[in-house]
Amino acid sequence: MSRPIQAHIDLSALQNNLRVARRHASSRIMAVVKANAYGHGLLRVAEALGEAEGFAMLDVRDAIALREAGFRQTILLLEGFFSADELPLIAEYELSTVIHSMHQLDMLDAYPRRSSLQVWLKINTGMNRLGFVPEQVPAAMEKLKSHPAVREITLMTHFSHADEAEGVADQLERFRSLTATYRAPRSLANSAALLRYPSSHSEWVRPGIMLYGASPFADTSAQQLGLRPVMTLSSGVISVRDVKAGDRIGYAGLFRAGTTMRIGTVACGYADGYPRHAPTGTPVLVNGQRTRTLGRVSMDMLGVDLSGIADADVGSRVTLWGAGLPVEDVASSAGTVSYELMCALTARVPIVAD
C-alpha cells in the first residue's frame, strides 16, 4: 500500500468559482495561473477554466506549454520578459507581455520585428514593486505608441490594499488621473477588487486566489462568497497511542499533555508542503470531526488530538485543508496565507483530479 496522503483537485469547483467571478464582473477574465496554478496543476486548471478569456503567468515556457496544448486565449506574462532573447518566442507564440521598466523598453529597441507584440504597460500607483512611476508614464506610453514592434497596448496596475480596509480608492484615482488621456484597454482588479470594488473592473479583471476557492478577505469566508474549495489535502492516521499527564510529544517536546490523552500520528509533514511553523492548535479534521495538531510538525508526520473522537483509529481519514476545513483557517492559525499553503504542495504528494 502507498502512503495515504493525497491532494484532490475538484475541477467542478474551479468552474463554479469562475462563474462567481462572472457574476461580479462583466469584464473579460484573465485567470491567474502562475506558480503552477497556485499548486493545482497548470494544464488541468487551464482546461477547467477554458471559458476564461485569458491566462496570466510568469514563465514563458509555461505560456508556450499552454499554446502548444491548444489554448488560443490571451496569455499574459505578468513580469514580462527577462532578456531580449525571449522576444522572438513571445512574438512567435502570440503572447502578451507586461512592460514595467525602462530596462525592458531598452531591450525592446533591439527587437527588429514590426507590429508583432501586444504589451501591457504597468503603472506603479503605490504598490512599489514593479511599474513605471507617474513621472515616467507619459514618456513610456509615447515610446510604446510609436514603437514599430508594438501592435497593441493595455494599461494596468496592481492594488496593494484591495483586501483590507484601506481599499483601492487612492490607487484607482491615481491610475485614472495618469491614464485619462489615453485610449487603451485597462486592467486593475485582482480577486479582492473584483469582488468588492466594481468601479475598478475596466476591460480586464485578474482573479487569482478566488478561483481556487479561498477568500481574499479576513472578514468574509469563501463560503459566504459562494466559492468552493478546489484543493483538498488529506491523509490518514498511521499510529494511535495513549499518553499520560506530563508526557511530551514530538521534536523538542513542545506539547506537554495536561491529562491522559489519546493522540494520533498523521502521514503528512513539511516535506509534503504542510507548514512546519504551524503551532499546536492548528485545525484538522479526523473522520470529519474538527480537532487540532499537537507539537512540532516534522518532515513526514504531525501529531493530532484524538480525544473525543471515539471512532478514530489507524486508517482514519484526516483532512489537512479543503472540503470541510477552509484553507484560510489553517493559514491563519499558522500565521501565513492560503496562497502559500497551496503553492507549497510538493511533488511527492499524489494528485487526483476529477
Give the C-alpha separation, 265 to 278, whole Å.
15
In degrees rounded to 5, what are phi and psi of residue 18?
-65, -40
- Cα 174-180-183 angle, rounded to 5 deg: 135
Q: Is 251 a catalytic residue?
A: yes
Report how far apart the first and last C-alpha atoms of the chain are (Å, whole number). 22
Give the C-alpha separation, 349 to 56, whole Å.
25
Instruction: Out of 34, 111, 197, 270, pick the active-site residue.
Output: 34
The beta strand positions in 202-335, using DSSP E, are: 204-205, 231-243, 248-249, 255-256, 261-266, 283-286, 289-294, 302-305, 317-321
Q: Is 38 a catalytic residue?
A: no
> Is residue 335 classed exposed, middle or buried when 0-12, 13-18 and 19+ CB atoms within 10 A define those classes?
exposed
Residue 293, number of CB atoms within 10 A of its CB: 26
Give the C-alpha separation, 198 to 249, whole Å.
50
Give the C-alpha separation, 165 to 334, whole Å.
23
Residue-wise DSSP of 181-211? T--S-EEEE-HHHHHH-GGG--SEE---GGG
Instruction: Out of 38, 182, 251, 339, pick the active-site residue.
Output: 251
Grid cell locating 97: 507581455
Residue-wise DSSP of 279-297? PTT-EEEETTEEEEEES--
Active site residues per annotation = 34, 251
